[in-house]
Structures are given as structure tokens and as C-alpha cells.
Structure 1
Amino acid sequence: MDSITQAALGATVAGAIAGRRCNAKVLLAGALLGTLPDLDVFIDYGDDISNTVKHRGFSHSILILLPFSLLVTGLFQRFKPLPDWSFSRLWLLVLLCLVTHPLLDTFTSYGTQLLWPLHGYYSLSSVFIIDPLYTLPLLIAIAIGWARKASLSRYCLIALVASSAYLSWSLIAKQIVEERAYASLKLRGFSTEKVFIAPTPFNTLLWRVVALDGEHYWEGLASVLDSHPDIEFISQSRGEWPLVTQPEQLVALRDFTGDFVRYEQLNKQLIVTDLRLGMFGNLAFKFQFGSQDDSGEWRLQVPERLPQPSIQGELKLLRDRALGDQTINASLGLCTLPCANM
């Protein structure tokens, strides 16, 4: 999730645990601890692919954060002892402020290495990386609680319950869309072996469905508020890697994405795209792996991430589609049933 959300979560967790000891310093400490795992973005692993796939690695691992929380608590107790704070309560505050960060990240589509150094990316893909409906209760609780200082901890606890309920709703919404997606794909005879479902920006009503099918993949949008359960899909080409061997960065990207990648040869550029993150024609992670010389040979390079176009112009369309207006599918790059290429 974004830094503001993680800071707000850390602050409310700290406030809820502190109880009557809650004050501005506690909230600030919680906010700092809540954002600490994301400091790994300042580590340069050598290229844009490595920086992408290794983010949310060791700094997001429960196996690392657990002993780290003990170290931080011990240093506090040694050099800046806090009156009325037992070691166990202080350790619980530090631990939960740190651990709730990667646990929340796991609800997004990016992929979090919760058990690093054990290999594996964990992702529930039920909330977008920025979701105001999750963040606002946390911020409101801090603001109201600050105005009523005697009740600050209670408001933090209420906000955590509300935000956790929202995460639970996101899983329910995804399950609803998932059942519709599998039914729609099977109705058309498409493969359901590899299907990715994730919310569109800033909401949990409208969901994007991607299904891999050999050299093609199918994309569709489904809103929880749709009046018709069937999902419309458009066929897209996945392309293919033009060389016999694959560089280690490509192998890492395929592993990171679960092989949800697309290969393009565009304007003599060799581009590989993560199909999971973004929208139709506006995917967030596109990498140039090489270029083609005048003889037609591909020259590989250090992978470079390409800039992502803004989706600001599509936000109104996405809002209307989230509210169940299926007539605007074509405006978002989707075909209307029956598709000509089905």
C-alpha cells in the first residue's frame, strides 16, 4: 500500500496498543515503524527488474521483523527507558506496527515475500495499492481522537476494526467476481488454469479479469453491481520471446508475475509487460529488454522500466462502470458480446 496508508495504520496500531499511554509521540513512533519496511525502495539492486522483484523482500519478511522488533525494543529499554511501559507491551507495539505493514501489502496484487529468505510471493489481490475507503477511517480516527485526547486509543481501535472489515469485504467481493469469471470463461470454452483477478484503481466494486490462453490472453471487467452475471472479454496477443535463451532478469520477472507477462516488438524495441498491474492499454510495469539493429538482430540491454501513461482520463468511465454501467465497456477497450474474435 501507499506510504500514507502504512503510516496511518502504524499510528492507529500503536494508539490502540498504548491505551491510556497514547499520545503524540506514540502515534509518531507508530507511523515511523509502519513505514519502515518500505525503506528498501532506496536499495539499488542494479537494474529496474531486480529493484521491482526484490522490493517487499527481506524488509517485509516476518522471519526478519520478529527478531528485529526484539532488537528495537531492547534498544529502547536500554537507552531510553519508558515509564509505565513493560518490555512485553512495548515489544508488542513495535512488532505489530512492523508486521501489519507486510500483512496489509499482501492484500494487494504486487506480491510480498512474507517468509524471505524462503522463496515465494504472497498476494491476495483484493485491494488496489491506493484505496481511500481503507485509509480514510484510519485518518479520521486519528483526527477525531486527537481532538478528544482522552478517547484517542478507543478511536484507533474502532478504526482498525472498520478497516479490517473493509479488507474482509474485499475478499468477499473478489470471490463473487471469481465465480462469475470462471463461469463466463467456461461458457466460452476458454482455459481457466491461469486466471488473475484484481480490483481496478481506488475501489473494490470493479474488478479486472485476465485469463492466459496459450499465445493469447483474455481481459474483462466485472462489477459487483452488474445486473448481468456474464463477463465480456477481449482477446489480446501475448507475443513470444524472440530469442533462444532468456536473461536472468526475464526469468525473475516471470517468476514474480506467475508468468502473467506479455512480449511486444514495438518500434524496434523488445518490451516485456507485467499483465497484473494496471488497466487495458495502460499497464504499470513495462520493461525494455533490448532493441533491434538494422540487420534485424536483437541486442539485449540492462532492462529499463518505461513510463506509465496517466489514467486520469479514464477515471470517470471506471467510476460509471463500477456502478454497473456495462454499456461503456467499448469505451474502456472491451468488446461487446459477441466478440468478433471469439
Structure 2
Amino acid sequence: MDSISQAALGAAVAGLVAGKRCSPKVLLAGAALGTVPDLDVVLDYGDPISNMIKHRGFSHSLFVLFPFAAVLAVFWKRFFAKEWPLWQLWALFTAVLVTHPILDSFTTYGTQLLWPLDTPPVAISSVFIIDPLYTIPLLIPVLAAFIWRSRAAKLCGVGLAISTLYLAWSLVAIGVVKDRVEENVAGTHLEGQPVFIGPTPFNTVLWRVVVLDDNKYWEGLTSLLDEDPTIDWMPMVRGDWTFPSKPELLTDFENFTRGFVRYEQDGDALTATDLRLGMAMYHPFSFVVAEQGENQVWQLVPPVQLDPGPVLPRQIPALWMRLLGWQSIDAMLCNEHDCFRDDLSSN
């Protein structure tokens, strides 16, 4: 999630655990500590793909955060908060640090909760990376806690309760969408194929669906407010890695994205794109991985991340209308080239 959400979560957790000891200093400390795991963004692993894959790695691991919280508690007890019970400091530091990656795991990007074990990142993908409906109900009680100090802990608890209920709702919503997608692909050649489902920006009502299909993929939007549960699919070329051997970096990239990768020739460049993040033809994580040199020979190059460009202004109201159930504007949410709607039954 974004830094504001993580800071608000850290402050609320700290305030609740502190109880009667809650104060503005505790809230500020919780807010700061709640953003600490994201400091790994300053690390450079050598190329943009590695930076993407290894972000939310060791600094988000439960195997790292639990002992780190214990060390912080002992340190803080000795030098800054001698009047606090050690158990309470440990509970506060642990809760603030651990809730950060747990919240991140609800997003699409993926969080390596069990680093260094060789397990896939946890990516529930039930909330967008920025969601005001999660953050605002959490942020307002935290800000109020700075004013009504005698009720600070209770206010923090209220904020956490509301935000947690919203996360629970997101799990219900994605479950409804999963059932709808299964009904849509049942009896077609896409039945049993890998499926990605994720929320569109800033909400848990309108959902984006991607289904892999050999050298192409099918993308569609479905809203919980749709009167007709039928999904209009947009088939797009997925491409494939055509070289004799695949670099380990791209194998890691495919594992990180769970196979939702598009390879596409763009002029003299070959790009690899994470299909989970973005929508239609707008994807923020697209990388040049090979170039065509003299004699039309392809050569691997150090990855370079492409600028996805700005979001088209007309797509913002179109997204809102689509959220409200206006299925007729699906095509507006797709850049017109290489993108068209289709019916699975005809394939």
C-alpha cells in the first residue's frame, strides 16, 4: 500500500497497543515505524527487473521483522522508555512492523512474507495499492486521537476495526468475481486456464480479469453493479520468448508474476511486461530485454524500464461509468490499437 496508508496503520496499531500510554509521540513513532519496511526501495540490485522482484523482500519478511522488533524493544526499553513494560514495547513494535507486510499482501504486487524461503510472493490482490476507502476511515480516527488524547487508544481501535472490515469486504468481493469468471469461462477453451483478478484503481467494485491462452490473453472488466454478469473479453497478443535459452532474470520475472508476462516486439526492441499491474494497453512495469542489431540478430541487453506515459484523461470518467455498471463503454477503456472485444463462444 501507499506510504500514507502504512503510516496511518502504524500509528493506529501503536495507539491501540499503547492503551493508556498512548500519546502524540507514540502515534508519530508508530507512523514512522510503519513505513520502515519500505526503506528497501533505496537499494539498487543492479537492474530495474531485479529491483522490482526483490522489493518487498527481506524487509517484509516475518522471519526478519519478528526478531527485529524484539531487538528494538530491548533497545527502546533501555534508552528511551524505561517506565514501559518490556512486553508492551515488544508487542507494539511487533504489531506495527508485521501489519505492514500483511497489508501489502492484500495488493497485487506481491509480498515475500516468508523470505528467504523459496516460496511465491503472497499477493491476494483484493485491494488496489491506493484505496481511499481503506485509508480515510483509518486516518480520520488517528488524526482525532491527536486532539482527544484521553480517547486516543479507543479512536485508534475504531479506525482499525473499520479498515479491517473493509479488507474483509474485499475478500468477499473478489470471491464473488471469481465465481462470476468461472461461470463465464465454463464450457469454453479457457476453462481451467490461469486467471488473474484484481481491483481497478481506488475501489473494490470494478474488477479487471486476465485469462492466459497460449500466445494470447483475454482481458475483461466486471463490476459488482453489472446487471448482466457476462464479461466482454478483449483478446490480445501475449507473445512468447523465442530465443533458444531464457536468462535466469526473466525466469525469475515470470515466477514473480506467476506467468502473467507479455513479450512484444516494439520496433527493434523486445519488451517483457507484467500483465497484472495496469490495464488494457497501459502497464507501468514494462522492460526492454533484447534489441535487434545488425543483420537482424537479436541480442540480450541490460533491462530498461519503459515510461508508460500518462493515463488518458478520458479514461478516468470512463472507469467511473464502468464501475456503475455501464458495460457499453468497455471499449473506451482500451487503447484502440491491438485491442478489440470478442465473445468466447466464437473461439
TM-score range, shorter chain: over 0.9
Deviation at 1:326, TM superposition (A): 0.6
Query: Which residue is 2:123 aligned to?
Result: 123
Verify the 8 A CA contact 1:217 1:236 in the aligned structure 2.
yes
Alignment of 1:207-226 (within 5 A): 207-226=207-226
Alignment of 1:81-92 (within 5 A): 81-83=81-83, 85-92=84-91
Give SS of 1:278's match: coil
> Can you list the C-alpha shifts for 1:286-306, whole angstroms capped at 9, x where unaligned?
011021113111121111111
The number of equivalent residue pairs is 341
Query: Which residue is 1:205 aligned to?
Result: 205
Query: Which residue is 1:329 aligned to?
Result: 330
Higher mean C-alpha deviation, range 126-135 or range 181-190: 181-190
Query: Which residue is 2:276 aligned to?
Result: 276
The alignment status of 1:157 with 2:157, answered yes or no, reads yes
What amino acid is aligned across from residue 96 of structure 2 in structure 1? C
Verify the 8 A CA contact 2:188 2:345 in the aligned structure 1.
no
Deviation at 1:336, TM superposition (A): 5.0
Verify the 8 A CA contact 2:208 2:220 in the aligned structure 1.
yes
Q: Using structure 2 for the length normalisation, give the TM-score.
A: 0.95
Partners of 2:65 and 2:163 in 1: how far apart? Answer: 23
What amino acid is aligned across from residue 258 of structure 2 in structure 1? G
> Can you list the C-alpha shifts for 1:223-276, whole angstroms capped at 9, x where unaligned?
011101111111111111131111121011001001110000111111000010
Gaps of 5+ in 1: none
Query: Which residue is 1:5 aligned to?
Result: 5
What amino acid is aligned across from residue 161 of structure 1 in structure 2? A
Give SS of 2:41's match: helix
Higher mean C-alpha deviation, range 53-62 or range 148-157: 148-157
What amino acid is aligned across from residue 116 of structure 2 in structure 1? P
What amino acid is aligned across from residue 154 of structure 1 in structure 2? K
Partners of 1:68 and 1:33 in 2: how far apart? Answer: 12
Alignment of 1:251-330 (within 5 A): 251-311=251-311, 313=313, 314-330=315-331
Partners of 1:339 and 1:59 in 2: how far apart? Answer: 43
Query: Which residue is 1:247 aligned to?
Result: 247
Partners of 1:338 and 1:34 in 2: how far apart? Answer: 46
The alignment status of 1:141 with 2:135, answered yes or no, reads no
Verify the 8 A CA contact 1:128 1:201 in the aligned structure 2.
yes
What amino acid is aligned across from residue 103 of structure 1 in structure 2? I
Q: Using structure 1 for the length normalisation, give the TM-score.
A: 0.96
Alignment of 1:75-114 (within 5 A): 75-83=75-83, 85-114=84-113
Deviation at 1:339, TM superposition (A): 7.3
Verify the 8 A CA contact 1:69 1:91 in the aligned structure 2.
yes
Deviation at 1:82, TM superposition (A): 3.6
The root-mean-square deviation of aligned C-alpha atoms, in Å, is 1.5
Give SS of 1:302's match: strand
Deviation at 1:211, TM superposition (A): 0.5
> Can you list the C-alpha shifts for 1:296-334, whole angstroms capped at 9, x where unaligned?
111211111111222252121111111111111121127
Partners of 1:253 and 1:338 in 2: how far apart? Answer: 31
The runs of at least 4 consecutive aligned structure 1 residues that moved more than 3 Å come to 334-342
What amino acid is aligned across from residue 189 of structure 1 in structure 2? H
Verify the 8 A CA contact 1:192 1:211 in the aligned structure 2.
no
Deviation at 1:191, TM superposition (A): 3.5
> Can you list the C-alpha shifts for 1:45-86, whole angstroms capped at 9, x where unaligned?
111111100011110000110111000011111222342x21
Partners of 1:151 and 1:94 in 2: how far apart? Answer: 21
Alignment of 1:165-184 (within 5 A): 165-184=165-184
Verify the 8 A CA contact 1:191 1:213 in the aligned structure 2.
no
> Can you list the C-alpha shifts for 1:179-235, whole angstroms capped at 9, x where unaligned?
111111124432433000000111100000001111111100000111011111111
Deviation at 1:166, TM superposition (A): 0.2
Verify the 8 A CA contact 2:145 2:151 in the aligned structure 1.
yes
